[in-house]
Amino acid sequence: MALRFEELIERHHDEIFAYLWRLMGNDGRRDAATDVEDLTQNVFLRAYDSFAGLRPNSNHRAWLYKIATHCAYTQLRRMKHRRDKLSSLKHSPTEPAMASDDSSSRKYIERRVRTLVNVLPVKQKACFALRYLQDLDYPEIAQILGCSQESARANVYQAIRHLRLALEEEK
């Protein structure tokens, strides 16, 4: 029996939303969830358009991740372009000094890591999110991103390296 598109949405909507939420970054805006929901709907609209041509034995989950990644890449490029335009017009405020209280320090570090992940190159960010936030293995990441397993591993490695270096520079 063939999988209905509605079943595909029911099975994977929340997972795709969570992936996009992590990939797009939660910058604290009130409308961030709405933006990610809109992006998630866009993913499923694109999936619907090509669902009929999908082979019955296809990996539907990986296929949806691939569509989600491409949609996110496009959105991230647009956002970067807008940010670059705005930053040329004004300077961004500096980060507050690290607090001495442990829970405040931990929250600051978590925010800082989130910020650093958000500025990683798009492919590194996607690989990092798929590996550590979505808990996918390298063959799945490679299939989703249309790259080799070695490339997926290298991008995860580079993302971690960038994060470590940036955090060490702040000490």
Tell me the CA distances in angstroms from 32 to 13, 79, 165, one per residue in order: 17, 13, 28
b/e code 108-127 from CB counts within 10 Å (16+ = b) = beeebeeebbeebebbbbbb
Return d(Cα 21, Cα 125) in angstroms, integer: 12
pLDDT digits (tens, 9 = 90+) for 22-42: 888 766 566 778 888 999 999
Is it true that domain 5-170 has CATH number 1.20.140.160? Answer: yes
Domain residue extents for the chain: 5-170
The more confidently predicted of residues 165 and 100 is 165
pLDDT digits (tens, 9 = 90+) for 123-163: 898 899 888 888 888 998 998 888 999 999 999 999 998 88
In this prediction, residues 55-73 reach a mean pLDDT of 90
pLDDT band at 102 (very low <50, low <70, confident <90, very high): low
What is the DSSP track for 53-102? TS-TTS-HHHHHHHHHHHHHHHHHHHHHHHHHHHHHHSPPPPPPPPPSSH
- Tokens at residue 153, please? 């591993």
pLDDT digits (tens, 9 = 90+) for 68-99: 999 988 888 777 766 665 555 444 344 444 44
The more confidently predicted of residues 2 and 40 is 40
